[in-house]
Structure 1
Amino acid sequence: MDNQELQNDYKKLYEAEREKTEVLLSKIEESEKEIEELRFKLDRIKNSFAWKLSVPLRKGLHFYEKTRDRLTRYGSIPGLMRKVRSKIQERKNMKRHGTASFPTPEEAKAQRETVFEHKVKFSILVPLYNTPEKFLTDMLDSVKNQTYENWELCLADGSDHEHAYVGEICAKYKAEDSRIVYHVLDHNYGISGNTNECLKLASGDYIGLFDHDDILHPAALFEYAKAINETGADYIYCDEITFEGDSIDHMIVLHFKPDFAIDNLRGNNYICHFSAFSRELLDEAGVFRSAYDGSQDHDMILRLTAKARKVYHVPKALYYWRSHKASVAQDINAKTYAVDAAKRAVHDHILDVYGMDAKVESTRAFPTIFRIRYPLLEKPLISIVIPNKDHMEDLSRCVESIVSKSTYPNYEIIVVENNSETKEIFDYYKALEHNERIRVVKYEGDFNYSRPGSQKHRHPG
């Protein structure tokens, strides 16, 4: 094909596309006219006397439809009322864990006057980076208002020049309280690097990790000092609440945590905030690692708890995690870099502790909750115990699924026969005899899932 033919083809294509464009522009123009006409009609209707007169009727109809839908969803008026009462109770419970939980002046005075045998000094690390003014002052005030007074606040500021007010506010607070230590960084080292710079400022015997946009309960350090004195814990954490807006009482999530469980922690960083740990423990575990930025806390918590002598959970909501557009609390699942960093942290932790190259996978429901597949160093015998009494279809379906789908080779199936009466089931037992993986043992007591299961131990393979 020569140049002239190519030009002719391009010209034909151009003309065809131009015609399509003209048709589309014409349709757009018609649509805009229709929209204007409909908008004019709608305005006339809304300004009419009849429309204004029908406002109460339409509101009543809307209320009726909404109530009908709720009744359909909850089954009855009593069901709907139970839901309403539940919501009211939920709001009351939320308030109880917010500002209503703060110590009264009398309680705060008593806490300040409490003398502990071990007067722990807490160094609270807060890396700063372009912190919004309101968030910054809320954070600073929440530390200054602690009823336990043996603390220092270590601030390392990596903010840029456009956020110079961060330094000005910190300088003002430092001038008012000598327990505040402030240092301007020559550049932003990232979350881990900035936290390590905070650590260089710390002189306390316990270290606390605090985010620059969050809030501490006034009694947080008092409760931690009390726990350390009573239990000797070298790692402490508490429950926390996620809130949005300017008030901690505007709660989104109440996070009541379980006590320490390492397998749970590997699958999900449920500890999160507010972590405090001994300086001695930190020296053993090492500082923050920038390779895990985005999930640096999970990495650090795994390393610290692996070496801790005593991990203690304070079962009180003492930390308020602010949710806003720039925060991880808003939606960590959308931040894939944080999820990937967490997977690496868990993988490397297991490799370091056990020497195992485990596979860490996100679950379908929540990317930040992991399923961990440990490599099998051996292939031990797995005994699958199935109690049965005349459940022919259920038993055959269960056995068939195991035999046909199992990819693990070293298993056995033990059927515990418990007073069956049908000939069909005994014929099925007979048919199972050809499979050397399957055995049938008898149990003649009353049917009970746990008792027949325990019979297996009396019939070793």
Structure 2
Amino acid sequence: MPKVSIIMATYNRSEYILESIQSILAQTYQDWECIIIDDGGTDNTLEILSPVLKHDIRFQYLVRTPNYQKGLPGSRNYGLDVAKGDYIIFFDDDDIAHPQNLELCVFELSDKQLSFCRYIRDVFRGDFVYNFDYSKEYTSFYIDSSDINKVLRNELQFNSCAVMWTKECYINHRYTEHLKYAEEWEVYARIITSVNKGISINKTLYYGRKHNVSITGDFGNRNLNSLSSYTDAIQLVIANLKNKKMLSSEIIRYFIQVSLQYKKFNLFERIINTLDLPKRQELKWRLFYAHLPLRLYFYVIWKKIKK
């Protein structure tokens, strides 16, 4: 049985996927399987991958079945259901993994008290420069459920493809398949508040390719489907924390502030309905929301004066 299951969803990325696969073949740690899930692409991805698939049985190429919704979450869930490894990691079909990625994560997770290993993800445009730092000296720190505020605010970012998880993390958790943006953020919030702790190492082990055709780009360009997905994810995160009795006033305040930007999606009322508070507490948050634009206005003025 492989120690690590690499899950790679792909969709019409024949231009880049082979370079991503080569970065997996270049790993210093070799006890892995790579499950490639095609989300119904129409290009020549399979043709390009055929020589690799024939010569290395560690690779599986599967087409997403109708049992899973079209999209990244559904494809990854299919991969999770097929995976056999003790550890789970997600790679994208256009990125580059550092050769020590698997080796260092597996080493850290040999501590059985840890459920995940987070690392640094850098970005690049154009051709990738293959100039890796092979040092094994780095600092680290632990992360547990008490850090969830930082995670939700992205003060402690959990980037896509920048975490290795133990298989236990995904026994009771799957991606929410109707989400087309923030699906990782939502499932990571569930996992982090369900496990003991993880470790974050200060070493770059992954390189994300930046280009215009991406889900993140859609969100930055205010694509309505991505914005709607984000509001759905917020509601799910709040419901999860409420059920676990981990929903602090700080988190509620933060998401109500965020809801000002999403009036089109009725986010504030959805938050209030999810909270299901006693009338007095509900009134408190309604008053907070009503006065929020004025408070933010004076806060901006105060910041300018302070400068």
The residue that corresponds to 1:238 in the other structure is 119
Q: How does 1:396-435 map to 2 (within 5 A)?
A: none
Gaps of 5+ in 2: 132-138, 262-267, 282-293, 296-307
Quote the offset at 1:339 in angstroms: 3.8
Where does 1:86-125 land on structure 2 (aligned, <5 Å)?
A: 121-125=3-7
CA displacement, residues 355-376 of structure 1 (integer Å, 9 cap, x when unaligned)? 46944443999xxxxx9x9978
Over the matched positions of the two proteins, sequence identity in percent amounts to: 22
Structure 2 counterpart SS, 1:300: helix
Report the Cα offset of residue 343 of structure 1.
3.3
Counterpart contact for 2:119–2:205, Cα < 8 Å: yes
Q: d(CA) in 1 for partners of 2:140 and 2:107?
A: 19
Match of 1:296 among 166, 183, 200: 183
SS at match of 2:45: helix
Is the Cα–Cα contact under 8 Å of residues 2 and 84 in structure 2 kept in the other structure?
no
Q: 1:361 to 1:339 in 2, by over 3 A?
A: farther
Structure 1 pair 185–282 and aligned structure 2 pair: CA distance change class (3 A)? closer
Residue in 1 that maps onto 2:47 = 168
- Rate the CA distance shift 1:180–1:335 in 2: closer, same or farther, 3 A: farther
Match of 2:148 among 262, 265, 268: 262
Quote the offset at 1:243 in angstroms.
0.6
Q: Distance in 2 between matches of 1:153 and 1:296?
A: 22
What do residues 350-403 of structure 1 show as CA deviations (whole Å, max 9, x unaligned)? 2222246944443999xxxxx9x9978787xxxxxxxxxxxxxxxxxxxxxxxx
| Distance of 2:117 and 2:212 partners within structure 1 | 29
Q: 1:335 to 1:205 in 2, by over 3 A?
A: farther
2:15 aligned with 1:128? no
* C-alpha distance 361-181 of structure 1, shift in aligned 2 (>3 A): farther
Alignment correspondent of 1:277: 165
Contact 1:257 / 1:315 at 8 angstroms: preserved in 2?
yes
2:214 aligned counterpart, secondary structure = coil
Corresponding residue SS for 1:234: strand
CA distance, structure 1, for counterparts of residue 129 and residue 140 of structure 2: 19
- Across the aligned residues of Structure 1 and Structure 2, the Cα RMSD in angstroms comes to 3.4
Rate the CA distance shift 1:257–1:247 in 2: closer, same or farther, 3 A.
Answer: farther
**Could you tell me which of 131, 138, 147 is aligned with 2:19?**
138
Q: CA, structure 1 residues 342+221, in 2 after alignment: closer, same or farther (shift >3 Å)?
A: same
Match of 2:105 in 1: 224
Could you say what secondary structure the match of 2:118 adopts? strand
Residues 361, 176 of structure 1: CA spacing in aligned structure 2 closer, same or farther, 3 A cutoff? Answer: farther
Deviation at 1:208, TM superposition (A): 0.6
Aligned position for 2:28? 147
Cα 1:354/1:172, change in 2 over 3 Å: same
Structure of greater Rg: 1
Q: 2:82 aligns with which of 171, 185, 201?
A: 201
Distance 1:176 1:335 in 2: 43
- SS of 2:178's partner is helix
> What secondary structure, in the 3-state scheme, does the structure 2 residue paired with 1:146 have?
coil
1:323 aligns with 2:210: yes
Partner letter of residue 193 of structure 1? G
Q: Displacement of 1:143 after TM fit?
A: 0.7
Alignment CA distance shift 1:361-1:338 (3 Å): farther
Q: Deviations over 1:121-176 (max 9, x none)?
A: 1101111111132x101110111111011111001112433x0x201122221112
| Aligned with 2:226 (options 334, 338, 349) | 338
The whole-number CA distance in structure 2 between the counterparts of 1:257 and 1:340 is: 36
What SS is found at the alignment partner of 1:301? helix
Q: Deviation digits for residues 16-65 of structure 1, max 9, x if unmatched?
A: xxxxxxxxxxxxxxxxxxxxxxxxxxxxxxxxxxxxxxxxxxxxxxxxxx
1:308 deviation in Å?
Answer: 1.5
Question: How far apart, in 1, do the equivalents of 2:257 and 2:228 lie?
Answer: 10
Normalising to structure 1: TM-score of the pair?
0.48
Q: Give the length in aligned residue pairs.
A: 248
8 Å CA contact 2:5–2:88 kept in 1: the answer is: yes
Q: Describe how 1:36-55 pairs up with structure 2 within 5 A.
A: none
SS at structure 2 position matched to 1:299:
helix
Q: Letter of the aligned partner of 1:123 in structure 2?
A: S
Post-superposition offset of 1:329: 4.9
Name the CA distance, whole Å, in 2 between partners of 1:310 and 1:338.
30
Q: Which residue of 2 aligns with 1:183?
A: 62
> C-alpha distance in 2, partners of 1:244/1:329?
15
1:152-211 deviations in whole A, cap 9, x for unaligned? 1001112433x0x20112222111211111113357721111112222331111111111
2:258 aligned partner, one-letter code? S
Q: For the Cα contact (< 8 Å) 1:235–1:305, is it kept in 2?
A: no
Gap change, CA 1:280 and 1:323, over 3 Å in 2? same
- Aligned position for 1:362: 258
Structure 1 residues 231 and 170 mapped into 2: Cα distance closer, same or farther (>3 Å)?
Answer: same
Superposed structure 1 runs of 4+ greater than 4 Å apart: 256-259, 355-361, 373-379
State how far apart, in whole Å, the 2-side matches of 1:186 and 1:231 are. 34
Alpha-carbon distance in structure 2 between the residues aligned to 1:159 and 1:292? 18
Per the alignment, residue 73 of structure 1 pairs with none
